[in-house]
Amino acid sequence: MLLNLVEAVDLALARAMSEDERVIILGEDVGKNGGVFRATQGLRERFGSRRVLDTPLAENLIAGVSVGMSSQGLRPVAEIQFLGFIYAALEHLISHAARLRNRTRGRLSCPLTIRTPFGGGIHAPEHHSESTEAILCHIAGLKVVALSSPRTAYGLLLAAIRSPDPVIVLEPERIYRSFKEEVLDDGQQIDLEQCLVWRKGVDLSLIAWGAMVQDCLQAAEQLAQYGIEAEVIDVACLKPLDMTTIINSVALTGRCIIVQEAVKSGGLGSDIAARLADTAFYALRAPIKIISPPDVILPYFKLEQAYLPQIADIVQTSRALMEASS
């Protein structure tokens, strides 16, 4: 089937609910309206109102109820309408969901999935365009994944729902409906603990996640016209981080550019760069570069494009890095 990303999310949810009656969907407007982006459209009609639950506008309640459900044998998939709304739920995610297995010495686990749109590019106000994934990655006991295409949406979401521990699934708003690709409803999941290599290259490693993966792929096509073959790595699982794939890529190319929608200070890109400096320093032929927005809150509407990294920025930085290290 040719599906866009939001349709692939819906397909994966339907597959998971068909396979396991313990899977429960809950969140604001996920039932009758099918979710703010229509990622749960049709599920209430198919599986009933006891398994697709509309909740009040209360993220702390959604997270708390989900932790309770998961501790009692259910597999809740909770939607937080936007990443900028998740902060009210952090008390439950940090103090309970992430710690339940350790706190009970394995007697209880928390098979909870939190889905939430993230990132900019849809001309929405600040709380609807957040890229604060580094906050979530800092929480021990949580897994964090970022979708980048319809296929990865299907496979990673299935893996998250089947996981015995809590997983945060970040869905990039900007590419929800930007393109389609073939998605098989075969129930095959994607390993939650590995990076994905989207394009092979020998000159430069482009590291990204979420919507920025697609921008890096387009940048790589343009760079090929200049004789530069870039390898594109989709981090996919932000926590735990598969550094082996990243290190192997940089060991081959000797050059690395990390592209993120999050601000640079305290971001995941800085963490990856630090680990590369520690483990792959002697393979580097040039300094590691991070392309990211400035350390300000995302501005509205027309200024949004000036804030977010652009394909032209990736191409320009890549060419400059190649020239400086040739």
**The domain spanning residue 36 has which CATH number?**
3.40.50.970
Share of the chain above pLDDT 90, in %: 94
CATH code of residue 249 = 3.40.50.920
Residues 123 and 227 in one domain: no
Residues 229 and 315 in one domain: yes
For the entire predicted model, the pTM comes to 0.96
Residues 37 and 63 in one domain: yes
Residues 223 and 114 in one domain: no
Q: What is the pLDDT of residue 325?
A: 87
Number of domains in the chain: 2
- Tell whether the model's pLDDT for residue 300 goes beyond 90: no
Residues 210 and 282 in one domain: yes
Residues 219 and 295 in one domain: yes
Is residue 96 part of the annotated active site? The answer reads: no
Residue 178 lies in a domain: yes
Residues 224 and 160 in one domain: no
Residue 258 lies in a domain: yes
Band the pLDDT of 68: cuts 50, 70, 90.
Answer: very high
Residue 187 lies in a domain: no
Q: What is the pLDDT of residue 141?
A: 96
> Using one digit for the tens of pLDDT, what is the confidence trace for 194-240?
999 999 999 999 999 999 999 999 999 999 999 999 999 999 999 99
Residues 7 and 143 in one domain: yes
Which of 123, 127, 128, 138 is the catalytic position?
Answer: 128
User: Tokens for 82?
Assistant: 């936007």
> Using one digit for the tens of pLDDT, what is the confidence trace for 138-190?
999 999 999 999 999 999 999 999 999 999 999 999 999 999 999 999 999 99
Full domain range(s) for residue 204: 196-325
Residues 157 and 53 in one domain: yes
